[in-house]
Structure 1
C-alpha cells in the first residue's frame, strides 16, 4: 500500500455524533444479491423514527411478494440515526427484486435472489490479480521493472544484481513483498485444491485471452510461484522485498517508474535479503527475530503446488522443483524461527508482521500431505499448539497494522484433516473462539459487523468469513450461518455508505470508482474485482501522512466520529485496492459460486 502502516490501538465504539437534520430514509442491502436459502436482512435508517412498512416487489412481475414491518435496532446508533432491520428471508423464489417504503415510496436498488448470484465471481477477482502483474502485464500490454534488483543485507556485496523480475505489485504502489505474495499464492492454491471444478480456463500463462488447458487460478498462482523461486535462489537464501517507500512519489505508469533508488529513474530497485534481523537503510528500522513467517508460508505454497502440478497437471518437472523449494524453505524456517518484517526507507510505515508459528504449522501440514513423512505432522501439531488463537486478531479488540498476519490461520484447517478426533476438537475450538469473540463486537452496532476498523479492515472481514466457512466444514456446526450472511452483506453494500467493497462488483455505480491507483488516475483504467482497504477508525485516518480528499465527500452524511470510508483517490487508507486482500477473498467467493 502507498503508505504501509501506523501502529494504532483502539477500542470499538459506536457513540452518536450530530449530523445535519434530514428526514430521508436510507436502505442498505447486499447489492450482489442473495442465495435462496440464506438469511436476507436489510438495514434502513433515518434521522427521524420510521413508522411505515416496507414492501418487497418482484421487478419482473411488479407483484408485491412481502410486506415487512421494520424492527427497531437496539444497539447504539452509528451516528445520529434511527436504525431498523427489514427481514425478507422467507422469500426464496429466484428473481430480481427491490424494496420500497410503502407510503413515502423510497426505493432500493434492484438485487437478485438466486443460486447463481456469485457464479464466476472468483474469476473477476483473478482479473484484478492480472492487472497487478509486474514484468509482462497483459492488462496494460507492457513490460515493467525488468531491472529488479540490487541486493542489500545479503551474503553478497550490497548492490549485487540478481534477477527478481516478475511477481505482483502490492497495491496501488509498485513494491513487491514476499510477505503478501506468499499468502496470495498459497491461498489461491488452497482454494483450487478445495474447489478444483469451479475455476475456468479463459486465459493463458501470460494472462492473455486464450485457453491453455490450465485453470486461470493456477496460471495466476504460478506467476507468484515463479517469482518466489527467484526470491529463494539457494537453499539457505531468501529475499523478502523489492523496492521501498521511495516508490511513493506520486502516480506513475509501471514501465515509466520515476522513483529514484540511486541508479536513475526507471532503473534498478533494491531487493532486501531476509536476515532475521532488524533492517533499514535510514533511521526507520524493521523488527525481526527470524524468517519463519516467510519461509513457512512459502513452504506451504510450494508443497501445495508440488501436489497440484504432479497430480492434476502431470507436470512432474515443475512439481519436483516446487517440492525441493518447499523442503528447503521449511528447513530454513526451522533453523531461523521468528519473523521478518517489511522495510521502510524514509517513512515510519511498514508491514509489521510479528507472528510465525501459524505459518510453520501450515507449511508442515502441507509438507506432510506432500511427503507423507510423520515428522512434519508432529511438527505441525506442535506449531498449532503454539499458534492456537494467540496469532489471531479475532480474539483482540485491536491490533497494529498487519501485525497478526495472515488474517486467518489456514494451517488449522489443513491440519484438521490429518489428526485424531481430540486434536480436531482443539483446532475447531481455535476457530470457534475467534468467531464467538467477533460476534460480541457485532452485537454492538446496527450492521452486525464483527471486525475492528484498523487499516485494511476489509482484509480482516474476508479472513473472518473464510474462518466461518472453514469452521463449518471442519465441525459441521451451522449455528453461524446468519452471522456469516451479515459479514458478507457488509462487503456488498449493507453498510452505512451503501457501496460494495470490490471494484465493479456488481457494477461501477454501486462499487468503489475513484480508487487510489496510478492506473485509474493516469489512464482512467477500471478493472473489476479489486478489494479496497475498507473503513478505518477516524483516529487512524486523521493521523496518517499525506491524506486528502480530491473531491467533496459524497458520504459525509454517513461518517461518524469513529469510522470513515471515502470513495476518493486521495484516501489511500480506505480506497486503495490491494493484491493480497483480493487474493484472500478468492476462497470465499469460490465457495459461494456453486457447482
Structure 2
C-alpha cells in the first residue's frame, strides 16, 4: 500500500472522530434523534486509530493500492465492455491528456482527452471530464492523468455488476425479522428469531401478533411504507427484467422451490404486512417498534415491549397498491395467496374511501422511533387506485384515477412521494382501461420532469442528476430521478439521452462523485464500510451490499454537523457509523439501486 493513501485514510478517519463522531448507539436515519453524544477528544483519537487499523487491514486484504489520490474519480467496480465509460478529474488548469494503464503491468492501452473545465457547483469545485467508451478490452485498469495521479482500479468485463446485484438483493434476507437468519448466508450477523412477542396496539390494552417482515434500516423497526416501497421496486424489477429475476438460485433458504427468489423474498415481507391490517376496518397500522431505539446490539437483544402504532392512510394506501400488484404477480405460483392479496387490497381501499380526510401519521408522544410522517396521502391513494384498476378493471377505480389526474400529475419513487409508481402503472395499463388524453398528459408530465433531471446530468461536473437535491437519503433521489428517465425512454425510445444519463448514476453510486466513495459496501476499492447498521456494529463486521444514504447538505446528526460543518452539499458525507443522516442503510435505498442496476445490466 502506498504511504500517500495510508496518510489520507488515517487523516480522514481521525478528523471525523475528533470532530464529534464518537459512537453511542442512539442515532437513526429515520428521524433526527438529537441524542448522539460526543466523547472526549482523547477517546475519539484512540477509537480512530483502532478503526483505521481495521480499515487498512480490510483494504490490504482485498486490493492492491496504487497512487490513488481521490482526485481521479470513476466507477470503481467497472464497466461492461460496450457500456459508456467516463472519468471525472478534480482540479484546475489541467493538462487535458489522460491515459488508461493495465493495473498490473502499467502498459498504456488507451489515450484520451479531458474536456472542461466544468463547474461542480454543489461540490464547490472545478472538474474535467473524460470519456473512454471506445475502449472495450476486458481487463483491470487505472486512469492516469498528467500529474501522475491515478484513479482507483476498475475492471472491464461482461457481468461486472453481477456480484454487486446479488449482494444488494441478499441485504433483504439479512434484514429479516422473527426468524433464524443463517450464518452460511450472512456470516457474522447471523441471529436467531427476534421480536417474536405480541405487540400492544397503541392506546389500548389489546395485543396483536405481527411477527416477520424486514428490519427497515440500521435499527430494528418495521414500517409498512418502507416495506411497500421496497416491494414495489422488487416487483417492477421482476416484471421489467424477467431475464435477470426469474432465477431461483440466488442463495436464500427458499431457493430451489420453483418460485423466483425475488418473489420469495418479497413474500416474506408481504406475509408480515398482512398481519398489519386491522381485520375489522381494513386500515393498516403504520409501524411496529419499541418506544425507543436500541443500542448497538443484535436484534434478538432488543426485548422491550413492542408497540403497534396507529393506522395511517399512507400505510393503508401503500398496502392496497402492493397487495394489488401481488395478486397479479403471484397468481401463476400461488392462486390462493393471489386471491387473498386482492381481497385485502380491496378492503384497504374501502377503508380509504370511508376516510377521505384522514390525517397523516405522526408519532404519538411516547414513541420516539422513526416517524415516516406524511401529511398527504393523495399520491398513495392514486397509486392504489391504478393498481386496483389494473387488476380488476372496475369502473370505480377508473373514475378515481381520472379525478386524481384532473390536476397536476404526481411524482416520486420514495416512501413519502409515490406518484411515479402510479404513473408507471397507468402508462402500462391496457388501452381499454386508459383515457387517451390522460395517458398523453401523464407521459408529457413525465418527459418534462425527466428533462429537468437530464439537464442536471448535463450541467453537473460529476454527471449527477440531483441538481440541488442533496438531502437525507440523496442516493434514493439519485435512483428515483434515473428511474423516471428510464421510464420516459421506455415509452419514447428515441430519447436515448435519458438512458445514458440514467447509466451515469450507476457510475456516481460506485465512485464517480465528489467524495470518491463507492456508496455500496464491499464494492469498489474506497467503499463505505462503517455503516450505521446495528448488526454490523454489534459484530464488528463488514456487511456487503448495503447502500449508504449519501451526501446530505442538511447534516442532521451531530457527527456530520460537526465534522462537515463547512462542507458543500455534494461533499456532506462521512463514512462513520454515527452519521446516521449520511451513512445509515435502508431497505428502500437498496431496492431502487436493485432496480436501476437491473435496468443497466439488462440494457447492455
Same fold (TM over 0.5): yes
In structure 1, distance between residues paired with 2:547 and 2:425: 25
CA offsets, 1:145-200, max 9 Å, x none?
011400014xxxx1311001111112111111111112212221222122233122
Q: 2:352 aligns with which of 333, 357, 360?
A: 333
Report deviation, 1:238. 2.8
The equivalent of 1:178 in structure 2 is 224
* Structure 2 CA distance for partners of 1:563 and 1:57, relative to 1, 3 Å: closer
In structure 1, distance between residues paired with 2:298 and 2:158: 40
In structure 2, distance between residues paired with 1:44 and 1:579: 32
In structure 2, distance between residues paired with 1:129 and 1:101: 40
Report deviation, 1:357. 2.8
The equivalent of 2:590 in structure 1 is 582
CA contact 1:354–1:403 (8 Å) conserved in 2:
no
Q: 1:254 aligns with which of 299, 302, 313?
A: 299
Once the two structures are superposed, the pairs formed by residues 189-200 of structure 1 within 5 Å of their partners are 189-199=235-245, 200=247
* Structure 2 CA distance for partners of 1:528 and 1:383, relative to 1, 3 Å: farther
In structure 2, distance between residues paired with 1:505 and 1:164: 35
The equivalent of 1:135 in structure 2 is 178
After TM superposition, the structure 1 stretch with the greater mean CA deviation from structure 2, 166-175 or 468-477, is 468-477
Report deviation, 1:36. 3.8
How many positions carry a matched residue from both structures? Answer: 526
The equivalent of 1:547 in structure 2 is 559
1:471 aligns with 2:507: no
Alignment gaps of 5+ in structure 2: 1-26, 34-67
In structure 1, distance between residues paired with 2:212 and 2:309: 16
1:366 aligns with 2:387: yes
In structure 1, distance between residues paired with 2:566 and 2:115: 21
The equivalent of 2:581 in structure 1 is 573
Report deviation, 1:76. 5.2
Report deviation, 1:339. 5.6
CA contact 2:465–2:482 (8 Å) conserved in 1:
no
In structure 2, distance between residues paired with 1:404 and 1:232: 20
Once the two structures are superposed, the pairs formed by residues 85-164 of structure 1 within 5 Å of their partners are 85-102=129-146, 104-119=147-162, 121-138=164-181, 139=186, 140-153=190-203, 158-164=204-210
The equivalent of 1:288 in structure 2 is none
In structure 2, distance between residues paired with 1:339 and 1:68: 57
Structure having the larger proportion of residues in helix? 2
In structure 2, distance between residues paired with 1:342 and 1:111: 46
Normalised TM-score (structure 1): 0.80
In structure 2, distance between residues paired with 1:254 and 1:210: 24
In structure 2, distance between residues paired with 1:135 and 1:172: 16
Taking only aligned residues, the RMSD between alpha carbons, in angstroms, comes to 3.1
What SS does structure 2 have at the residue aligned with 1:68? strand
Normalised TM-score (structure 2): 0.79
The equivalent of 2:378 in structure 1 is 357
In structure 1, distance between residues paired with 2:379 and 2:350: 16
* Structure 2 CA distance for partners of 1:420 and 1:92, relative to 1, 3 Å: farther
1:43 aligns with 2:109: no
* Structure 2 CA distance for partners of 1:326 and 1:122, relative to 1, 3 Å: farther
In structure 2, distance between residues paired with 1:52 and 1:372: 59
After TM superposition, the structure 1 stretch with the greater mean CA deviation from structure 2, 349-358 or 571-580, is 349-358
In structure 1, distance between residues paired with 2:575 and 2:70: 22
After TM superposition, the structure 1 stretch with the greater mean CA deviation from structure 2, 336-345 or 186-195, is 336-345
Once the two structures are superposed, the pairs formed by residues 403-552 of structure 1 within 5 Å of their partners are 404-406=416-418, 409-418=420-429, 419-442=434-457, 445-451=460-466, 452-476=469-493, 477-506=495-524, 509-537=525-553, 540-541=554-555, 544=556, 546-547=558-559
In structure 1, distance between residues paired with 2:587 and 2:199: 21
Report deviation, 1:63. 4.9
Alignment gaps of 5+ in structure 1: 8-22, 258-265, 277-290, 394-401
